[in-house]
Amino acid sequence: MPYQRTVLPLALVGTLAACTGTGTVAPSVSPQGSAESTKTNMLEAGAAALQSNAPLGGMDIYLVGFHPMKNDPNHQMEAHHFCRQMNEDVAQCALFDGNTANANLTGVEYIISERLFEQLPRRERQYWHPHNGEILSGQLVAPNLPDVAEHELMKSKMNSYGKTWHTWQSEEGTQPGDRLPYGPPMLAWSFNRDGEARPGLVETRDREMNTSTAERRRARQDLVPTARPQEGVDALKGKFPRLTQDIPGVVDKRATR
């Protein structure tokens, strides 16, 4: 999920040494098919020289988090988001299973503010997952950003919601998944309690990207008082085979009624 653009003094950004970790994450699978031919390579070169990729040019916000599928919560994926902020209330992201040039496009996510979510028809809200759990747990990270900038990014997205469809299940937890985008799109959700993520999922990301979910969580404790109850926090409650614990500040709106 992206952020409402936070402007920091350029000199400050350039001199901050502490940054959210970074690393190269290769996709879990390679698509079935033959290697590209010389003709295809030439066509690609011509297209790059003569055609525009303007809609992709603004997808300059990079975040990494995790998604369980709503109807199959134990099918979970690491999601690399490349996002464009459309305005102060709406953003759109392309999702990949890595951050290298050969990463597989696995889905899309749309982000809206709490204000817009409250205007949605009741029947539409079942598709939108809450974000406070991702932020306050420390699981959502913005690689390469200075810690101060990343903190402002997360602060700006407290209480927001996302609508995510995965079209390619190329990962099965920490293991490779399908080598082609089989089956119907799957609606993804968010983790809202400790223990919902499969063992090793978060730890593998932290190791590959040289980051620490625990450190991010500690650094975001000042955001807990800004968290408001959200719809969908309890949508997957009790649907995981592991013991779970509440995350302070992550509360289902129905529990407050």
- Burial code (b: 16+ CB inside 10 Å, e: under 16) for 169-178 equals bbbebbeebb
Q: If you search the block for the tokens 């919601």, which residue do you land on?
A: 161
The tokens describing 188, both together, are 């993804």
Q: Is residue 48 part of a domain?
A: no
Report pLDDT for 3: 38
Per-residue pLDDT for 37 more than 60?
A: yes
Q: Is residue 227 part of a domain?
A: yes
Residue 146 DSSP code: B
Report pLDDT for 95: 98
Residue 198 DSSP code: P
Q: What is the mean predicted confidence (pLDDT) over 215-234?
A: 98
Q: Is residue 188 part of a domain?
A: yes
pLDDT band at 141 (very low <50, low <70, confident <90, very high): very high
Contacts of 11 (CB under 8 A, 6+ apart): none
DSSP per-residue codes, 4-65: ------HHHHHH---B--------S---SSPPPPHHHHHHHHHHHHHS--HHHHT--EEEEE
CA dist 1 and 188 (Å) reads 13
The structural domain count of the chain equals 1
Range of the domain at 208: 59-256
Q: Is residue 139 part of a domain?
A: yes
Q: Which helix (H) or strand (E) holds 76?
A: strand 72-85
How do residues 142-172 score in pLDDT, each as one tens digit?
A: 999 999 999 999 999 999 999 999 999 999 9
Question: What pTM was estimated for this model as a whole?
Answer: 0.88
What is the separation, in whole angstroms, between the first and last Cα of the chain?
A: 28
By the 8 A CB rule, do 73 and 236 touch?
Answer: yes
Contacts of 8 (CB under 8 A, 6+ apart): 146, 148, 149, 152
Q: Is residue 40 part of a domain?
A: no
User: Three-class SS of residue 136?
Assistant: helix
Q: Which residue has the higher pLDDT, 100 or 44?
A: 100
Q: Is residue 7 part of a domain?
A: no
Q: Is residue 21 part of a domain?
A: no
Q: Is residue 137 part of a domain?
A: yes
